[in-house]
Structure 1
Amino acid sequence: MEAASPETVGSDRPEPVLLTEPTDGVPPVVDTPAELQAAATALAAGTGPVAVDTERASGYRYSQRAYLVQLRREGAGTVLVDPVALDGALDPLVPALADTEWVLHAASQDLPCLAELDLRPSRLFDTELAGRLAGFERVSLGALVERILGYRLEKGHSAADWSRRPLPEDWLVYAALDVELLIALRDAMHDELVRQGKLDWAYEEFEAVRTAEPAPPRAEPWRRTSGIHRVRNPRQLAAVRALWQTRDSFARDRDLAPGRVLPDSSIVQAAQANPNTEAELVALPVFGGRQQRRRASIWLQALRTARRLENDELPTPTTAHDGPPPTNRWADRDPEAAARLSAVRAALSEIAERHNLPLENLLLPDLVRRTCWTPPEDRSATGVAELLRGKGAREWQIDLTAHSLSAALQATPPPDTA
């Protein structure tokens, strides 16, 4: 499909064409080893990059596994693979897709569940990231397809329970359309990045996404319970922790999304109310539901465990972290750091505006904060470049920012080490 130039997109453009069916129709779902081998053979015989997408059931299941894998390649058409029916054994796809550029939209969301299936790209093109680097304000798949290609995708099943079987036909239409235009979008975004002189930057970013290590597990994930800011008493915090951990274990064992087992708001409410009996517990909203009444003894036991803790076993109201304090406290805590941050932000904003880049893609905000809070001893451009490189910044980012960062960091003198 021919792409419209981004420069020609505007109010005078024709209305986008609504796509309701894949060009070649919806293919049957691949759910047997023989069908998988045939699909792999077809994909291996195809040409050019391969479009890849997955569907998960994040709001319904504990795991982030893929419940459907969509693939499309020139000469092979669209392939819909059911990894559940195949017990996650998608081995024939590995050689079929080797040494092929994979095209994904927001790849960091899909790569982990693909890796669980031993599917890993050797080369990557991320159309969402390409859109950000090209300076587009809206970078969802639907927004880019509409603006760049002149087509509108019907979006309605992204938050569906993809663990459901059999998958409804309209869901399969949606899934197939998600890869229908990815190759055309990739080609158009490639040309736009070339036009803007950003293609090399983009491939550095794509490689960083492709090779990124999984994020380490949080030390105290229960502290992310929504509404926990209303709980400051250490004993109540212990109740939140106990309920969260009990819920997490229950949800993991049954592969259920934790929020479907017990909402965060109910955890906070129970910690504040501190019921002593099942009758008192089920009198609280949500806990009076049929399922929660059956589980009441589980939640009550968690609360009793928290009550039995010694004082020195209770969690502190706040947790230590390895980063700088919130920036709104810098002026009081370290005025020189606040001055550095202000100067650095101004310098980075000017660079981002000049190159039509989102500020957060020029340099990660956390890296900026850490650099300003604890600047390198060597604040020369060379010293700053070494610091950024050691923290994972890409070469194009270093080239654009190191000199300006050096000048901004030297706006205040380093501490006297004598």
Structure 2
Amino acid sequence: MMRPAPLRYVRSHRFMGKKRKVRAMIVGIPRSLSVDELRVGLPPRGVRNLVTAGHTVLVESHAGLGSGFPDSQYEKAGGQVVRSLDEVYGRADLVMKVNAPTPEEYPLIREGQILMAVMHLAVADKKLLKVLLERNCTAVDFVTLHDAPGHYPVLRPISQLAGRMVPQIAARYLQTDHGGLGILLGGAPAVPPAEVVVIGAGTVGRNAVRACLGAGARVTLLDTRHDSLSEIDWAFPGRVTTFRANEATLRKVLSYADVVVGAVHTRAARTPHLVTREMLGLLREKSLIIDISVDQGGCFETSRPTRLSDPTYVVDGIVHYCVPNLTSLVARSATYALANETLPYVRAVADAGLPGAFGAQPHLASGVGIMAGQATHVGAAEAAGVPVVDLATLLEGNAS
């Protein structure tokens, strides 16, 4: 295994009243090993931003190919294209990914390394959590990073894309050649459109409503928050049927739905199963479920993660589409959307290290699930089965 490069101190940084030297970081961008994952941690313009600031960026060969970024573009941006995953992990101080490391990467994670990704630590593999804790790593989980109550800046653009993709997914899997009901999503003269039910009025749900209306479908929206339903009613007067979500209203809408979209998000916890297997019996045979919440466990009892190359399965006659990395279908757009929000945080960590980056990006602290081998977020702690450590207390102890 390769050792990290010698330290290159490039600036001073003041944190908690103490002046500290901070070295230029080596940032690693590995090629994703996740099945059907085509997105990449940063596009070439993100690499140029870091290189211009004095940092070294290692990009594994072909890491960006699935998003339409050949190695030559990364080299032109100032990145160093390396041939192996081992070299990325062996030299990088900070590893930037789209998703959590896969089991093949666990042995490569170094002592004290910083990892930044959409990691879903609350539902992560316990072996990964054990590795991160035992090797004193720091894990920034963009899933929990928020800059206001209910406002998740990194999840938002991906959720917007996922919601807007709903009509194209629904249109495909309503077709008979994909096992569907044979319904045209937008209908035609004298032929009614599909009935789309969206559960959850968050970012995914709102964008799904907008996109499905644009495609000509009839849309019903359920949520527990009256204010959220009111916003949709105001934005699309008379065009969306809205219900307060409870078992009775769920049963009512399932009785006429052709497509049901799960768009429920819970903060750093598993999504509750709102639709039980017994309730599937209310749907017509060959109806379609699209569970976008599956990356947090799914809001249907019958949901289980699938992959883009084999995205559907059938339970009790109902087609299920449950792909966690749905936006990998539009990998280039998704990579740009992610980088627009993640790059400022990556740059802050590269410039000032941790905890120094909290000065420039104070909301970054909300995304730290593990800090120097300690679980600092309740979701990560519960998933790992270890006590949660208050981040502020941990930082005060290290500063004293």
Task: Determine if the TM-score, normalized by the shorter chain, exceeds 0.5.
Answer: no
Give TM-score scaled by structure 1 length.
0.21
Largest Rg, 1 or 2: 1
The structure in which a higher percent of residues are helix is: 1
Q: Which has the higher contact order (CA 8 A, sep 6+)?
A: 2
The structure in which a higher percent of residues are strand is: 2
